[in-house]
Amino acid sequence: MNKTHYTSLIKQEAKRLGFDYCGISKAEFLSDEAPRLEQWLKKEMHGRMKYMENHFDKRLDPRLLVEGARSVISLLLNYFPSKTQNDIDAPKISKYAHGKDYHFVIKEKLKLLTDSIKKNIGDINGRAFVDSAPVLDKVWAKRSGLGWVGKNTNLINRQNGSFFFIAELIIDLELEYDGAIDDYCGTCTKCIEACPTNAIVEPYIVDGSKCISYFTIELKENIPAEVKGKFENWAFGCDICQDVCPWNRFSKPHNEPMFTPKKELINMNAADWEEITEELFDKIFHDSPLQRPAYKGFKRNLDFLK
């Protein structure tokens, strides 16, 4: 069998498993990204996310992650919810956190995809990645033709916008490669203008240390006083730069049952969030991305919004 057939098999199986898009690119050194990443780190735009400084070489070359790597298979899974929070005055939770933690959901799908490749093609060597390893996922998705990286640095797909999780399989099998598509942001600057903390410091560059998502999820210390009053009621993550993006008028509700919004989250009003106990928080959100800051970190966020 040839690589055309292998490529078709993989894309068909990805679709069967529920992934919305699958693209493939050649596993090679990301020469264009090297100076950009270096400058971003030098300017300390990663804030206290010190893990971003680790494995610099591996972030730029997948062949250092998987011996003999030939292909990067990029996959997108839609998380745009059919329902949003009922109480408009309740603390806002990013759409990606409305259901079960995506790490659990996607890792299982990637395991099944890997098993299928081994069963139908052969005993390939590879690794699966879901936002927890030194992989520049948006860059690989762009190179695989799944979208372009917009001015808010999110991957944007022409058909469905940007509310996607990105995952990869890096394998030692040569396949047919997809090419990058054009950038369709044009002259639009809505995301830049809408960001209340001015985190998008220039088109295509986000200072992560100024992002509301960074403050409410990644930062373990006290949130700086200078951003008090700028969160627009976001208590976990932030969707502002995506919500204002014209391409997200094409977003459609996902079809993944495990991303179904938790009814408690949807129905909770401002008072419910204020009064939530650690026991209730852990009961409702035990398998949710909200466990990232845990109860203590989440309460810190709520207190900061007052």
**Residues known to be catalytic:** 131
Sign of CA dihedral 109, 111, 114, 118: negative
Q: Which residues are CB-neighbours of 146 under 8 A, at least 6 positions away?
A: 21, 23, 74, 76, 155, 157, 178
Whole-angstrom distance, CA of residue 93 vs CA of residue 234: 6
Closest to 29 (Cα-Cα) out of 63, 77, 53: 63
Contact of 231 with 196, CB cutoff 8 Å? yes
Strands 200-202 and 205-206: antiparallel
Whole-angstrom distance, CA of residue 187 vs CA of residue 281: 43
Whole-angstrom distance, CA of residue 285 vs CA of residue 240: 23
Phi-psi region of 150 (alpha: psi -120 to 50; beta: other; left: phi over 0): beta
Query: What are the backbone dihedrals phi and psi of residue 209, each rounded to the nearest 5 degrees, phi first?
Result: -75, -5
